[in-house]
Structure 1
Amino acid sequence: MSTSRRSFLRATGLAAGTGLLWPSWAQADPPGSRVPAPVKPPPSGALTLLSASPLLADELLAKRAIDAALAAGASYADARLVAWRRERVSVRDDHVSEVQRSSEYGLGLRVIADGAWGFAATPRLEPKSIDGVAKRAVAAAKINATLRRESVELAPVAAVSGGWVAPHRVDPFTISPKQKADLLIDASKSVLAVAGVAHAWATVDSQREDKLFLSSEGARIHQLLFRVRPQLSATAVDRRRGQFASRDHEIAPMLAGWEHVEDAKLVEDAAQVGEDAVRKLHAAPVEPGERTVILDPSNLWLTIHESIGHPTELDRALGLEANFAGTSFLDPAKTGTYEIGNELANFVADRTQPGGLATCAWDDDGVGTERWQLVEAGKLVDWQTTRDQAHWIRGKTGDKAGHACSYADSYSSVAFQRMPNISLAPGKDGHTTEDLINATDDGILISGRGSWSIDQQRYNFQFSGQYFWEIKNGRLTKPLRDVAYQANTVEFWKSMDMLGGEASFRLGGSFSDGKGEPGQSNAVSHGCPPARFRVNVVSTAGGKA
């Protein structure tokens, strides 16, 4: 089924000057995102989950790997036993299109020998294989020692014995694939009931990460993490004009259980998603030029990720990492003086963020997680670091033990510096999205994740979005389409002139942030309030109205 622009506007009463409200579901703050995290020690029920872990049966083998590495010449060793479960259930229109399940289990051993790192891993957990892993890891370290520029220096930390389970109410793996598919099909059918919508797609990804960390320094840390990602999308089609438009639900992935999927209200919000897709299909094209834009948290989180998150990775700024879009325009020598934005720009890194995808209690170096300032009143003041990177910027920041940013995405991957949850702090004036709209005479409100591009130093960029409203005289007037905004990182954050308050703060995030070679993928969240900027707006229509 399809609709014309005229018939749709007549049926829905949409027209310029109606002052439409920003949809409430686009600003939803799921209850699960407010659960405190991390909590040390975990509640008694969480300890029961840890005591049932299959990893405990192989703990002696992990200790054996460490002992064997020390006997082979290592000065330090840590072992990670990791069990992953992943599941995806997807539907297309009125039927199940995909059910995927995967699991992995194994041991990774990291060592320091002759002042250099070495690593080896195995899925075969028996004594002979474990002894072989220790020999390979130490041999790799000794080869790396012939190439190293300086010896590995680990910041001193106390050896910790503890456990933690991510806050959740319902283990997503206790919900059957059929139950998940039934929910998704109900949501999809509700989308398809909207006149003009031709297709619907919905999916739920569930992850369970169970890991036990042991070190030659005496650390023993057991953590269990749950992550879920519900998604819903509608595609509207105008066959007469040969055009289509898609609209995604803006619920963010979260460190949480199945309750987050229930809180997302996919079925209840489905009609709104479908109606937005049709509005977008028949929307007016944007007029390019310098414009004021208000960016909803569902859009701004990705800009934070690319323009603040990746440039403040210390290894990237030092040129030691250049995969997945290059290095960084930032210079550690300018820590404390470089202005990356104006006084409203305050960015916090936080691996304790409630609901944050990168949240945990200890990192994969065994260092306790924390919250720290990256950018304060526009000035770069600190970096993302690990235990072996802390001395690289000694004297430039207060970082003495590293900021617990070590992570490996598998037992077979070596742990290295990965991005924590990084967020733009809310403003002190308590503004809402409506306040920002009311204060704008001529602008565009942008929400949702769209296409993006950024240069090799994370400086010049272009971002689009999911949905766009024109603002005239403090009111939303009509939907727009084919909108993207361009800027460079410094000019962008210096142009921010209005910021939402704490009540408007929302998390966004990604299940798959890439880095490294061989590549690894981690999950990370970014929070922010809505914010207003001055940027160059371009049309992505390619010359077609």
Structure 2
Amino acid sequence: MKRRDFIHLSGMGLGALVTPGLLMMGNPVSAEQLLEPGIDVAAKKVLADTALNAARAKGATYTDVRIGRYLRQNVFTRDKNVQNISNGETFGVGIRVIANGTWGFSSTSDVTPDGIKLCAETAVAIAKANSKLQNEPVELAPEPGHGEVTWNTPIKKKALEIPVKEKIDLLLKANNAAIDNGAAFVNSSLFMINEQKYFASTDGSYIDQDIHRIWPTFSVTAVNKESGGFRTRQALSAPMGMGYEYMDGLAADKIMNPAGFNSYRNSYDIVEDATDAAKQAKEKISAKSVIPGKYDLVLDPDHLGLTIHESVGHPLELDRVLGYEANYAGTSFATLDKWKSGDFKYGSDKVNIVADKTQPFTLGNTGYDDEGVKTKEWDLIKNGVLVNYQAIRDQVSILGEKESHGCCFADNWSSVQFQRMPNVSLRPGTEKLSPAEMIKNVEKGIYILGRGSYSIDQQRYNFQFGGQLFYEIKNGEIVGMLEDVAYQSNTQEFWNSCSQICDKDDYRFFGSFFDGKGQPSQSSAVSHGSSTTRFDGVNVINTGRNI
């Protein structure tokens, strides 16, 4: 990554979201090279069989092969100028085996029969070396062979096929709209990813998948010329598992929120959002600073998604519960004894949270995971009670289950696959309720949109979250903008304060392209769905920033 790209990302406040998944662009290529088809499925099958046979000959009892071509294009602009365009491709093979009851993994960019044979033999040698330290053999949940199947992200426009000039023109149009409405500075970016993944295993699966993701974003800054102070507003877009049709900004996909401007569902109007952002960044400069105390919070999905991610998604990763992730962002308060009790109240009766990699348009949407398991939906929290975790083939036996949850993932062919967060989403309310109707019943509250700074402890329990936009609610009405807002709580107290959830008509997605986990670190893409949700009596602090 070039220095100016890093500065741009830092200016957008991505912070901890900047992980190797973003930095590792692969080999620089032209935009035209991104459109080349790569090797066909028949050739991939021949190469995969080479690996399977070579590993079996060396004593492997199980083998899976991932042949991956990962394509990325990032476009960066600032004000009226293009900052950078990055095109990257990485192509290779990752081979995972079990030999002597132990995992071994090796990868190579030498995608030839000889290169793959050597890679498979190396994986087996590593497994046998590891087995000297293995106390118990790996126990894999059974998975039927799926034969030769394909799965593609259901897109209408391949983002990488759209001319770069068209993308630049759209970003600069958004920048100009922000500047025309009072912004002093504006950065905008467009991230596009295409993963062409082929999986084969000794279970009898040959799975070819073509996965697409897109993320438009920006940061608008307004400056108080008299004091020199400033405020920013980030984009309210969500990264999505879609093609370039996400940028169409269809009127049917816009939802007027109670603050009087549009939120977005399955398409995004970046020019409209940048226009609103400039006006709101200026308004934030003179907004009233919040008075600390207890407030009822009305949280927009674009904000609540991050809270779901940190306080539900991560603590219910089984490997984190077991302590495997202790060195990277901690363990989990949601220990197995709480699950085994069968009555641990994670949240109020309103709270129903599911894991689901089948939701259309989401970042986690795939047909099969990187162990060849068909993806599905399952309950994590039901009527407020903790009922399950996220687990893969060599973990589910710990839970007494016989089928993987289908949430094993690697961020590249060169990375070993391991348990990763699927889409973790709050089910909408069952009774008809709009955000405006919800606010009518709030006497003293704050309506929060967008993600801001946050922190959470090593057990994913005590936390603090900020946001992008804050509106004061008095006696059922929004009365003006607030600033310097953050709320503090612990996971169980917070989710038990959930009192209302809007219905499915308000359901939208939040997402992250760059969820980091593991050592060496990997990034993955994940979405979190919800409707606008109310939490009662939450402690709000003043963050003390001064203009």
TM, length-normalised to structure 1: 0.88
- The structure 1 residue matched to 2:116, chosen from 111, 114, 130, is 130
What fraction of aligned residue pairs are identical, expressed as a percent? 44
- The structure 1 residue matched to 2:338, chosen from 331, 334, 339, is 334
Name the residue aligned to 2:187.
201
| Structure 1 contact 50–223 (Cα < 8 Å) conserved | no
Report 1:7-406 matches (<5 A). Answer: 54=40, 56-161=42-147, 162-195=149-182, 197-263=183-249, 264-335=268-339, 336-394=342-400, 399-406=401-408
Q: What is the aligned-residue RMSD (CA, Å)?
A: 1.5
| Structure 2 contact 355–379 (Cα < 8 Å) conserved | yes
Q: Name the SS of the counterpart of 1:465 in structure 2.
A: strand
Superposed displacement of residue 268, structure 1: 3.1
**CA distances 1:300-328 after superposition (whole Å, capped 9, x unpaired):** 00000000000110111011222431010
| Structure 1 contact 292–535 (Cα < 8 Å) conserved | yes
Name the residue aligned to 1:524.
526
In 2, Cα distance between equivalents of 1:453 and 1:477? 29
In 1, Cα distance between equivalents of 2:520 and 2:38? 33
- Between 268-277 and 496-505, report the one with greater CA deviation: 268-277
Q: Name the SS of the counterpart of 2:137 in structure 1.
A: coil
Q: Name the SS of the counterpart of 1:466 in structure 2.
A: strand
Amino acid at match of 1:407: F
In 2, Cα distance between equivalents of 1:268 and 1:388? 47
Q: Name the SS of the counterpart of 2:452 in structure 1.
A: coil
In 1, Cα distance between equivalents of 2:273 and 2:215? 16
Q: Name the SS of the counterpart of 2:184 in structure 1.
A: strand
In 2, Cα distance between equivalents of 1:482 and 1:56? 58
In 2, Cα distance between equivalents of 1:119 and 1:56? 24
TM, length-normalised to structure 2: 0.88
- Between 55-64 and 384-393, report the one with greater CA deviation: 55-64
Amino acid at match of 2:160: F
In 2, Cα distance between equivalents of 1:326 and 1:73? 37
**CA distances 1:45-96 after superposition (whole Å, capped 9, x unpaired):** xxxx999754643431221111111111110101000000001101100010
Amino acid at match of 2:409: Y
- Between 178-187 and 319-328, report the one with greater CA deviation: 319-328
Q: Name the SS of the counterpart of 1:205 in structure 2.
A: strand
Amino acid at match of 1:348: V
In 1, Cα distance between equivalents of 2:322 and 2:219? 40
- The structure 1 residue matched to 2:544, chosen from 515, 537, 541, is 541
Gaps in structure 1 of 5+ consecutive residues: 1-48
Cα separation, partners in 2 of 1:56 and 1:100, compared to 1, 3 Å: farther
In 2, Cα distance between equivalents of 1:324 and 1:341? 26
2:461 paired with 1:459:
yes
In 2, Cα distance between equivalents of 1:56 and 1:236? 55
In 2, Cα distance between equivalents of 1:175 and 1:306? 35
- Between 260-269 and 306-315, report the one with greater CA deviation: 260-269
| Structure 1 contact 302–449 (Cα < 8 Å) conserved | yes
Q: Name the SS of the counterpart of 2:451 in structure 1.
A: coil
Superposed displacement of residue 343, structure 1: 0.2
Gaps in structure 2 of 5+ consecutive residues: 1-34, 250-267
| Structure 1 contact 294–445 (Cα < 8 Å) conserved | yes
In 1, Cα distance between equivalents of 2:229 and 2:317? 41
- Between 460-469 and 241-250, report the one with greater CA deviation: 241-250
- The structure 2 residue matched to 1:443, chosen from 445, 451, 468, is 445
